[in-house]
Amino acid sequence: MIMTRLALAIGLSLSLLLPLPAQSASNDAPATSILSAEQAREENAYTLGVQAYLWGFPLYFYDVTGPKSLQAGAVGMNTLRKYSALKTAKDRTVVTPNNVTIDAYARFDVSKEPLVVHVPALTEPRWYLTQIGNTFDEVTHNIGGIKGAQPGDYLITGPDFHGTVPREMTQVPSRTKWGVIAVRIFANGEQDVAAAIEAQKGFQIMPLSAYLRDGLQYKPSTADIPVFNGTAPEGVRFFDQLGHAMQQFMPASGDQDEAFMTQLRLIGLSPDMGFDWRSLDEATLRGLTRAVAAAQQIVDQRWKNLGEVTNGWRYFMVGGRAGHDYAMRAALAKNVIGAQLSEQVLYPNTQVDDQGSALDGKHKYVMQFAEGQQPPASLFWNLSMYGADMLFVENAFGRYSIGSMTAGLKPAADGSLTLLIQQERPSDTSNWLPAPAGPFNLTMRFYGPGSSVLDGSYRLPAIKRVD
């Protein structure tokens, strides 16, 4: 089944990259090219290498970014790195940020023991979402969100765990030994940040032994992840890093992709040895070098053609659960790592206006919602402005997004709503989303998207240029 799915996912791309068989001089059937033993080894390594790249790209990406994110202070290791302010253009650690929540992030390692996630009972109603994911960039479990408040203690266990879960704890099995946690808590503007911070204080994570010893009085210690310095030749360094990631993240007892992982041993990849490139012959290394270049193109093309585009807005519903499609999962990990399940938060993006032209701050735009056609979300909706780097753009007004929770938002007398998207400050700033001087793009977030969004019967209107 695994090999069949992989063949369906990448067969077309491989057919475009492999050389055509030689043709005979006559009009008879084409002659079959005969591969030498060396050529056969190279082609076998090439096909396995492409599959390994697509399958393992999320592992590779998390392994590369782990030390960097810890050194930058963006996450904690087995402890939550908590932010105490709404994000602004000065925040450079998280791409496509939002500024309607205060967040906390952590990397976790459950290779030695389970990790407790404590979710408090809040004293006042407030939206929050605790997202637990693995290093295949799959959502393992969500706490809160559209399900409402879910206080309690949750125990993340690794794939090799065979112990007993303490009573009153909810087990959350993780497919990988390492993973990520994000805690997002709603804050309704700067005036609400202090209350959101107070709510955030109750969310904690800690090793099980520390919880049993100290309870919620546990004080975390700092931790670091050393940077991996591979020794493989330049053309196959991807596989060297992937091998290290497999050693770090994969279970000793096998995985749901165990049959495929057995095949990877033919190209030197395994959870116990990493990437044993020195055991490979030159033909195999040539095939793997070609595979990296081909797989990179497959991932980029998959991203360009991912999802549905309507009125210039691109929607995709597979975030957090694309493990059945390795090329898609790799494309998501490369471009929107840590994506949430669509029924929790959906965030279509647009870079063009209603004529298909790129959005640019030298023009003025509007986004118009007819009466009763504002984004259907059971919680709230929010439109964010980003520069080409997918980060907030500084503006003197200090507004980086606008939405249903924005104070003073003004519908028209007929019930319609028009958002002004422009660089120049209008006389009435109630519905204004400031734009930068140059290119920009927009992301709409549906928090608790309505069923009409998920089934495709509701779609956002196009951004209209008005100057």
- 183 phi/psi in degrees, rounded to 5: -115, 120
Predicted local confidence at residue 10, as pLDDT = 40
* Number of residues that this document lists for the chain: 467
Whether 258 maps to a domain, the answer reads no
CB 160 within 8 A of CB 176: no
Using CA of residue 290, residue 291, residue 295, residue 296, what is the dihedral sign? negative
* pTM tops 0.85, yes or no: yes
Cα distance between residue 374 and residue 281, in whole Å? 61
Task: Please indicate, yes or no, if residue 56 is contained in any of the structural domains.
Answer: no
CATH at residue 175:
2.60.40.1610
Number of domains in the chain: 2
pLDDT for the residue 72: 74
Tell me if residue 385 falls in helix, strand or coil: strand
pLDDT at position 264: 96
> Does 7 fall in a domain?
no
Residue 378 lies in a domain: yes
**Dist. CA 320–CA 342, nearest whole Å:** 8
Per-residue pLDDT of the chain (467 residues; tens, 9 = 90+): 444 444 434 443 433 344 434 433 444 545 568 999 999 999 999 999 999 999 999 999 999 998 888 877 788 899 999 988 888 877 766 778 888 999 999 999 999 999 999 999 999 999 999 999 999 999 999 999 999 999 999 999 999 999 999 999 999 999 999 999 999 999 998 999 999 999 999 999 999 999 999 999 999 887 778 889 999 999 999 999 999 999 999 997 778 888 999 999 999 999 999 999 999 999 999 999 999 999 999 999 999 989 999 999 999 999 999 988 999 999 999 988 899 999 999 999 999 999 999 999 999 999 999 999 999 999 999 999 999 888 898 999 999 999 999 999 999 999 999 999 999 999 999 999 999 999 999 999 999 999 999 999 999 999 999 98
Q: Which of 197, 217, 237 is the last residue of a domain?
A: 217
Residue 231 domain-assigned (yes or no): no
275 forms beta bridges with 269
pLDDT at 429: 97
User: Which has the closest alpha carbon to 142: 405, 339, 377?
Assistant: 339
C-alpha dist (Å) from residue 409 to 268, 284, 347, 360, 393: 59, 62, 21, 24, 21
Final residue before a domain boundary, out of 217, 250, 278: 217
3 state SS of 384:
strand
Question: Could you tell me if 236 and 284 are in contact, meaning their C-beta atoms sit under 8 angstroms apart?
Answer: no
Residue where a domain terminates, one of 160, 189, 217: 217
Would 318 be classed as within a structural domain?
no
Which residues sit opposite 103 in a β-bridge?
A: 184
Residue at 449 is within a domain: yes
The residue segments making up the domain with residue 179 are: 79-217
> Contact 388/408 with Cβ under 8 angstroms?
no
CATH of the domain at 421: 2.60.120.1600
Residue 142 · residue 123 · CB < 8 Å: no
Q: How far is the C-alpha of 350 from the C-alpha of 440, rounded, in Å?
A: 9
Side-chain-side CA neighbours of 271 within 13 Å: the count stands at 16
